[in-house]
Amino acid sequence: MALIVQKYGGTSVGTPERIKNVARRVAKFKAQGHDIVVVVSAMSGETNRLIALAKEIQANPDPRELDVIVSTGEQVTIGLLAMALKEQGVDAKSYTGGQVKILTDSTHTKARIQSIDDEAMRADLNAGRVVIVAGFQGVDPEGNITTLGRGGSDTSGVALAAALKADECQIYTDVDGVYTTDPRVVPEAKKLKTITFEEMLEMASLGSKVLQIRSVEFAGKYNVKLRVLSSFQEEGEGTLITFEEDPNMEKPVVSGIAFNRDEARINVTGVPDKPGIAYQILGPVSDANIDVDMIIQNVGKDGTTDFSFTVPKPDLARTIKVLEGVQAHIGAAQIDGDDKICKISIVGVGMRSHVGVAATMFRTLAEEGINIQMISTSEIKISVIVDEKYLELAVRVLHKAFGLDKG
């Protein structure tokens, strides 16, 4: 007898048939005696359809009105799922974000949740009903409809679980859990039974797009037990995201290997090695609204230094243009970029207590003749930039070197 929040994404509710499948799964949990709150996304493709419609009217849609339009996607799904449950003899009631009320700030299209009123939902749960809530949306203090931004349904699920003090928040997706790396690259990749919150954050931000990162942060902040499961498999425990490291538990040194092909590298060479130079280079880039990920500055010699950083691939040309505009001012000898690179990261809380992880990583890559262009480290992660053509090879050999194929 637990209170479980289940979140189903757009693919899981993409057709009437799939909605009926979700209803069957919910009904099964309900029959086991659990109280269930279901959070759903819009049917897959629907949000894009609505945004395209809005853009036919306004190239840059008014944010308030875009939220009015886009929020209808989830509103349709909640009604359909409530019907599907009733059709299976399970009493259910749908709630829009405003009906719950999920109070957010007024930042349309990327609002943040401020509070959730659990009173009405609790009354329905006590009356034996399944509660169905539209994900991704809320209402601001003036009653305007807001949305949480892309992927925000995960955050809705976690926030509802926190507000209701649910025993578990289950995120159903089209994968059955978090893997040691992408199984399409390494067929031997193993599903992780558990992953720590910190590791998940590093994995998510590095491209293992299983969960929206903000939802993981939210779960950590409110200590919500979060589990990733497949909505297309009947059985399976998925991957549980844990928040406390069990000191008695033997943790693997490395939990997973993430990678990212979406970045490009910029080199600014021969700049005067003086205070403020990093800001002079990155300030104009930031002003142009270009996201910067890895940043590396080598120790200088002869009064000059080299400065490197990565940006999203589509922004490479624009970044170089911005820097060429300030090249004379900063006194850089040369500016160049390379978009034929990739980033590979090993992640694991076990690194904290194990020396030599970096050494193993670098040796493994060296043995395959893979040149490392940039290195960046954090407490539980080591990232390297290598030539894009080595991506699959590098991930495979690292996966093996850290024993991840042994499960």
Q: Could you give the residue ranges of the DSSP H alpha helices within 130-196? A: 152-163
Question: Is residue 152 within the footprint of a copy of itself (CB under 8 A)?
Answer: no
Q: Is 75 in the site for a copy of itself (CB under 8 A)?
A: yes
Does the footprint of a copy of itself cover residue 80 (CB under 8 A)? yes
Q: Count CB atoms within 10 A of the CB of residue 301.
A: 9
Q: Which stretch binds a copy of itself (CB under 8 A): 56-64, 167-175, 211-219, 243-251?
A: 56-64
Joined tokens for residue 314: 């589509």
**Binding to a copy of itself by residue 51, rule CB under 8 A?**
no
Cα–Cα distance measured from residue 116 to residue 140, given in angstroms and rounded to the nearest whole number: 12
How far apart are alpha carbons 159 and 219 in whole angstroms? 8
The dihedral over CA atoms of 74, 79, 81, 85, expressed in degrees to the nearest 10, equals: 160
Q: Which amino acid is at 243?
A: F
Q: Is 44 in the site for a copy of itself (CB under 8 A)?
A: no
How many residues sit in the footprint of a copy of itself (CB under 8 A)? 37
State the minimum distance, in angstroms, from the CB of residue 172 to a copy of itself. 19
- Minimal distance in Å, beta carbon 99 to a copy of itself? 6
Q: Work out whether 21 is an interface residue with a copy of itself (CB under 8 A).
A: no
Task: Sort residue 238 into left (φ over 0), alpha (ψ -120 to 50) or beta.
Answer: left
Of 4, 5, 19, 374, which lies in the binding site for a copy of itself, with binding defined by CB under 8 A?
19
82 makes contact with a copy of itself (CB under 8 A): yes
187 binds a copy of itself (CB under 8 A): no
Buried residues in 214-239 as b, exposed as e (16+ CB within 10 A): bbbbbbbeeebbbbbbbbeeeeeebb
Rounded to the nearest whole angstrom, what is the least distance from the CB of residue 18 to a copy of itself in the complex?
A: 11
Please report whether residue 79 would count as binding a copy of itself according to CB under 8 A. yes
Biggest alpha carbon–alpha carbon distance for the chain = 79
- The CB-of-130 to a copy of itself minimum distance in angstroms stands at 12
Q: Site residues for a copy of itself, window 296-355 (CB under 8 A)?
A: none
Closest CA to 245 of 288, 196, 291, 206: 196
**Could you say whether residue 61 binds a copy of itself (CB under 8 A)?**
yes
Residues 186, 362: Cα–Cα separation, whole Å: 19
Q: Which of 57, 123, 317, 366 binds a copy of itself (CB under 8 A)?
A: 57
Of the candidate residues 32, 62, 141, 377, the single one contacting a copy of itself (CB under 8 A): 62
Is 54 a binding residue for a copy of itself by CB under 8 A? The answer is yes
Backbone angles phi, psi at 68, to 5 degrees: -60, -40
Question: Where does this chain bind a copy of itself (CB under 8 A)?
Answer: 16, 19-20, 50, 53-54, 56-58, 61-62, 64-69, 71-72, 75-76, 78-80, 82-84, 86-87, 93-94, 96, 98-99, 143-145
